[in-house]
Amino acid sequence: MTQAAKDDRLGFADDTAHSAPASLPPWKILIADDEEGVHRVTRLALADLRFFDRPLQFLDAYSGHETVELMRQHPDTAMVLMDVVMESEHAGLLAVQTIRRELDNRFVRIILRTGQPGQAPEREVVTRYDINDYKEKTELTAKKLFTVIHTGLSHYREMLALNESKRGLERVLDATADIFEKKSLPRFAQGALEQLGAMLFADQDAVVVRAEAVAATSHNNSPAVVLAGTGRYALHRGAVAQDVVDARVMDRVLRVLRNRRSERDDREFIAYFSTSTGVEHVLYLGSSAPMSAFDIRLLELFCRNVGIAYENFGLQREMLDTQRNVILLLTEAIEQRSKETRNHVQRVAEYAATLGALMRLPEHELEILPLAAAMHDLGKVAIADAILTKPGPLTDAERKDMQLHAEIGWHMLSAQHGVILQAGAEVARQHHENWDGSGYPQGLAGEDIHLYGRIVKLVDVFDALSTKRCYKEAWPMQQVVDYLRQESGRQFEPRLVELLLNNLDRFLAIKAQYAEEPG
């Protein structure tokens, strides 16, 4: 084996081989010694060394205090070559203690160099101060210094990789617990990508790009987007890939998408994988060291599993979307019995979702609430057309019949299984309850009324007053606002009224979007 090949396998290379990408920072080596000659000799001995295509950057400290301050400024320092005796007999040891305890830096590799070993016995120092190596200055020839640096940097690199792998695994486990929720797939991909990069020591930027099959290479149609990323792409999840991905990398990604075939060389892996639902993905990952056959197998396994996760996620979302559409179709079919309320269901659902968002409800509730709201008048399916479409006021008997729709809707939905249908049952039964207890059918008051029921109560009345019905004209908006204020604390929960009126423009925009068509 040639010397160059040996150096490359060790992680070292000369300046002409595999030049380091500009995005890779140098390894920081802090020389802590009060003798200028030690700094000069150390720099001279290590000046030409590179470790995994990254050069060394030297920091100089001439006292324990300076050492601590430099470590505070440069927490990513890989190694400290630490003298024991500087401004005091134990200045170096006190600095080590501060670095490990106060600065809580467990990653930096600390090599103790002493010219007076009697003042710092090796066994006691290594165990008490968390020292990674102990050398007498007379031992450290240029050749041995090379070995010390190589070993220290290898350990530092492995510790960083282990930490990143742990972080990635935490994300994977967290996302796996709720993989079918709306945002869990990106979290799963992000965590898996971080863990994968750590295991492969992939120091460069990595990104997973998602694209629709037909528009994968087009800037004019739906663009490719970033599903997950590390390094410079870590903060760009959901962004248009062409806007944030390096032009050279993006060219390779688009070529892989066009050809639907993965590419790789000894330092870069660009993998293509797709799902049966027509969504394509490309993983780009670069490495500071040549990739082994084992590395490639890990990458291929990553691609396959993310593809399967996305496939399952898509099927789950499709089922939920189907359920949502069936609910909307059913409720809208009921409203079609009245030509003047064709879009009432859609508006109430959107109003409820908007009010829920203003209340900062959790995301899973913001998915349930509008669907439950859409079912608020489901019980009207059992009410006679003569009552529903009567142009004038209802008689007392007719009003009692109309009020039955709340209990009818409850009985229809409460017998069904599923979170959405059970929430719909609560809304159907309680959306005519009043905050002061004067409503029907149960006479509930205050927070005894389900939050969804309180929300739908308000937005249902808001919509009824502001739109034309067979028995009345639409009220002017100022009159609607005055009525809501007047009934705050009576029919409606005050904080909900305040939220709606303080954000009235958002509700008016929904009203305009789903306005009733004339005729």
**Which sequence positions are flagged as catalytic?**
380
CA distance 483 to 488: 9
Specify the long-range contacts of residues 92-95, CB closer than 8 Å, at least 24 apart: 92/32, 92/64, 92/67, 92/120, 93/120, 93/125, 93/129, 94/64, 95/32, 95/64, 95/65, 95/67, 95/68
CA distance 208 to 216: 14
| Tokens 């002017």 sit on residue | 476
Rounded alpha-carbon distances, angstroms, from residue 275 to 1, 205, 213, 515: 45, 25, 10, 39
- For 340, the enclosing helix (H) or strand (E) is none
Angle subtended at Cα 187 by Cα 164 and Cα 259, rounded to the nearest 5 degrees: 95
Q: Assess contact for 407 and 379: CB atoms under 8 A.
A: yes
Rounded alpha-carbon distances, angstroms, from residue 97 to 59, 125, 324: 19, 11, 61
Q: Say whether 31 sits in a helix, a strand or coil.
A: strand
Task: Tell me which DSSP letter residue 467 carries.
Answer: S
The closest of 380, 370, 398, 375 to 338, measured between CA atoms, is 380
| Ramachandran region, residue 449 (left: φ > 0; alpha: ψ -120 to 50; beta: rest) | beta
Strands (E) located in 221-286: 225-230, 263-264, 268-274, 279-286
The closest of 285, 234, 75, 102 to 160, measured between CA atoms, is 75
